[in-house]
Chain A
Amino acid sequence: MLQPEMELTVDELKHLVSNRAIEGDTMVLNMGPQHPSTHGVLRLLLELDGEKIITCIPDIGYLHSGIEKNMEAKSFEKVLVMTDRMDYLNNLGNNLAYCLAIEKLVDLDVPPRAQVIRVLLTELQRITSHLVFLGTHALDLAAMSVFLYCFREREIILDIFEMCSGQRMMTSYFRPGGLWRDVPEGFEEVVQNFLDIFPARIQQYEDLLSNNPLYLDRTKGIGVIPTDMALSWGATGPPLRASGIAYDVRKAQPYSGYEQYEFDIPTGENGDVYDRYIVRMEEMRQSVRIVQQALDNIPEGPFRSDNRKFVPPPRSELAHSMEAVIHHFKLWTEGFTAPKGEVYVPVESPKGLLGCYLVSDGGSNPYRVHFRTPSFANMQILPKISIGCLVADLVAIISSLDPVLGDVDR
């Protein structure tokens, strides 16, 4: 069972590398799938001339978990649990993409309070994702202390998620029609405390890296993605913005009321590793701005829709309303049915454009769910931009693209 079913011969792989490798002039090196700098289980086949990379062939699929296939066997509400496990640094963002798709499919309203809390929490999630990027990126470039600082702040945000949902990472907090439950008492205070300390902490990271000559040598002019290449290869998120294009789904196609918030889209000029780092640092500052605006304007009201065909009734109603009992029973046994049709919803995840494509055949399970994940699209550029680099630069390039292998392979 454990043997690969398709054995490849060397002859079948020969076209991937240059003729020099076959003559023994260059060296073919395997990097990964267990390698500390490949951010998970990415495998790279490198053809090296000295330490210079001639060919770089990524081999993905080591984390292919069949999530999209698994979703077809689950009812619409249960699918949500699987979305958490795709991009495991952006759990709430994945929830949001899926919830927006369902809401568009069945035309479900979301109360304003839920929308604001969704924005607030996804922006906090964006900060955690960028913190993990920053920590691992610095660690790959041999700066240990940044990693420790980043995870210190990340714990504060995870505590906020745990406060709301009871889980640190796999929250499943957003549900079609709103939220699982209202935010707990003391939520505003905890978030405000975080916002008070965090801008100074971003400055602290910048002090460690932004002007550090060792860091600049490793990142400036490395892994340059020209603007036209970024566009033609479908890069989104920080890699695209670092190449100078101010495209952000939050501005281009606002969802969840993003048009109400004031924030800027940071862009870079050169499209190198350093610019991608700077763009992410600036995005954290912008996220702080959005969270502050959302926190100041959380409206009162219900936290989920009262459309009982799709949203379960509150427990208090079950005691005295037969109708509520019936709805509750229907929802937790067979789930709701969606009309026949298909929808596509893009959102801006920390890595780029995350699209959810949902097809319904009129039943209570999705007919097909597909996610257009940003890590996969951004990863395509890697073989192009790593040619001519040193192996040490490749490590910096991989971490600057910030791939999450769960997002690449699904």
Chain B
Amino acid sequence: MGVEEKLGNLGIITTTLEAAVNWSRTRAMWPLLSGLACCAIEMMATQASDYDLSRFGMELMRPSPRQSDLLIIAGRVTRKMAPVLRRLYDQMPDPKWVLAMGDCCSCGGVFNNYAIIPGVDEVMPVDVYVAGCPPRPEGLIHGIVTLHEKVKGEKINTYS
């Protein structure tokens, strides 16, 4: 297969269980197919041909929270939508991660009123915040790569 032809016979690779598990988690992290507002359009652009999220093993977006690992909050979170999002988060199996995409769900953004929750972190824990209104697709990819770095640093005793 590909690697052996280039590198010769590698024989045995030794690694730690932590490294192997974390590596496998970063290579196939399926996001939940859930968009809220403007950022969802940029999230779609990130999946489309120019930015091609499948380079990170993420082309498969699952519409069901039961099958997904990553919740990308793409857009503004209203008071009506927040309980729904929390429910989606609760339905996701562990290990799970949350990426807050854009200013609105990070801190409220331009909205300072009765309808918008100033940051989705009032409802659920967030791993990575991506700034921008909306963030460019490169910004989202940077956020995802940052999340991968975080996952790679997880310890075996934190696995639940």
Q: Which B residues between 29 and 56 are near A, CB-CB below 8 angstroms?
A: 32-38, 40-42, 44-45, 48-50
Name the distance in Å between A7's Cβ and chain B's nearest Cβ.
12
User: How many angstroms from the CA of A149 to the CA of B29 in the assembled complex?
Assistant: 25
Q: Which of A4, A81, A405 is the one whose CB lies under 8 Å from B83?
A: A4
| Chain B residues whose C-beta falls within 8 Å of the C-beta of A4 in the assembled complex | 80, 83
B86–A2 touching, CB < 8 Å: yes
The answer to the question of A27 belonging to the interface, with a C-beta cut-off of 8 Å to chain B, is no
Interface residues on chain A, number (Cβ under 8 Å): 42
User: How many angstroms from the CA of A88 to the CA of B40 in the assembled complex?
Assistant: 10
A65–B84 touching, CB < 8 Å: no
| Chain B residues whose C-beta falls within 8 Å of the C-beta of A150 in the assembled complex | 48
Q: For the side of the interface on B, what is the size category?
A: 35 or more
The answer to the question of A3 belonging to the interface, with a C-beta cut-off of 8 Å to chain B, is yes
User: How many angstroms from the CA of A132 to the CA of B41 in the assembled complex?
Assistant: 9
The answer to the question of A362 belonging to the interface, with a C-beta cut-off of 8 Å to chain B, is no
Proximity string of chain B (84-110) to chain A, C-beta cutoff 8 Å, 1 when within and 0 when not = 101010000000000000000000001
Residue of A nearest to B52 (CB): A148
B123–A152 touching, CB < 8 Å: no
A89–B80 touching, CB < 8 Å: no
Pick the most buried of A3, A85, A135, A154: most chain B CB atoms within 10 A of its CB. A85
B81–A63 touching, CB < 8 Å: yes
Q: Which A residues between 317 and 334 are near B, CB-CB below 8 angstroms?
A: none
A3–B83 touching, CB < 8 Å: yes
A152–B50 touching, CB < 8 Å: yes
21 A-B contacts, Cβ less than 8 Å apart? A1-B79, A2-B83, A2-B123, A36-B33, A41-B36, A41-B84, A62-B80, A63-B75, A63-B76, A63-B81, A81-B110, A132-B41, A135-B44, A135-B48, A147-B48, A151-B44, A151-B48, A155-B45, A168-B42, A169-B134, A170-B38
Name the distance in Å between A310's Cβ and chain B's nearest Cβ.
23
Proximity string of chain A (139-164) to chain B, C-beta cutoff 8 Å, 1 when within and 0 when not = 00000000111111011001000000
Pick the most buried of B76, B110, B116, B134: most chain A CB atoms within 10 A of its CB. B110
Given contacts A4-B83, A70-B113, contact A65 B76 (CB under 8 A): yes
User: How many angstroms from the CA of A40 to the CA of B86 in the assembled complex?
Assistant: 17
The answer to the question of B24 belonging to the interface, with a C-beta cut-off of 8 Å to chain A, is no
| Chain A residues whose C-beta falls within 8 Å of the C-beta of B156 in the assembled complex | none
Name the distance in Å between B62's Cβ and chain A's nearest Cβ.
10
Name the distance in Å between A68's Cβ and chain B's nearest Cβ.
10
User: How many angstroms from the CA of A238 to the CA of B82 in the assembled complex?
Assistant: 33
Which residues of chain A have a CB within 8 Å of any CB of chain B?
Answer: 1-4, 33-36, 40-41, 61-67, 69-70, 73, 81-82, 85, 88-89, 132, 135-136, 147-152, 154-155, 158, 168-170, 405-406
User: How many angstroms from the CA of A63 to the CA of B34 in the assembled complex?
Assistant: 13
User: How many angstroms from the CA of A299 to the CA of B72 in the assembled complex?
Assistant: 45
User: How many angstroms from the CA of A168 to the CA of B35 in the assembled complex?
Assistant: 18
User: How many angstroms from the CA of A87 to the CA of B7 in the assembled complex?
Assistant: 53
The answer to the question of B159 belonging to the interface, with a C-beta cut-off of 8 Å to chain A, is no
| Chain A residues whose C-beta falls within 8 Å of the C-beta of B36 in the assembled complex | 40-41, 63
User: How many angstroms from the CA of A36 to the CA of B86 in the assembled complex?
Assistant: 18
Which residues of chain B have a CB within 8 Å of any CB of chain A?
Answer: 32-38, 40-42, 44-45, 48-50, 63, 65, 75-76, 78-84, 86, 88, 110-116, 123, 133-134, 136
User: How many angstroms from the CA of A40 to the CA of B37 in the assembled complex?
Assistant: 7
Main secondary structure of the interface of A (DSSP, over half): loop
Name the distance in Å between B55's Cβ and chain A's nearest Cβ.
14
B81–A69 touching, CB < 8 Å: no
Given contacts A70-B113, A88-B37, contact A170 B76 (CB under 8 A): no
Name the distance in Å between A211's Cβ and chain B's nearest Cβ.
24
Residue of A nearest to B83 (CB): A2
Given contacts A62-B78, A66-B116, A169-B41, contact A40 B83 (CB under 8 A): no
User: How many angstroms from the CA of A406 to the CA of B41 in the assembled complex?
Assistant: 12
A152–B48 touching, CB < 8 Å: yes
User: How many angstroms from the CA of A155 to the CA of B50 in the assembled complex?
Assistant: 8
Q: Which of B38, B49, B65, B81 is the one whose CB lies under 8 Å from A169?
A: B38
Q: Which of B65, B88, B136 is the one whose CB lies under 8 Å from A168?
A: B136
Q: Which of A34, A67, A151 is the one whose CB lies under 8 Å from B88?
A: A34
Residue of A nearest to B86 (CB): A2
B80–A61 touching, CB < 8 Å: yes
| Chain B residues whose C-beta falls within 8 Å of the C-beta of A170 in the assembled complex | 38, 133-134
| Chain A residues whose C-beta falls within 8 Å of the C-beta of B133 in the assembled complex | 170
User: How many angstroms from the CA of A33 to the CA of B81 in the assembled complex?
Assistant: 8
Given contacts A62-B78, A66-B115, contact A148 B41 (CB under 8 A): no
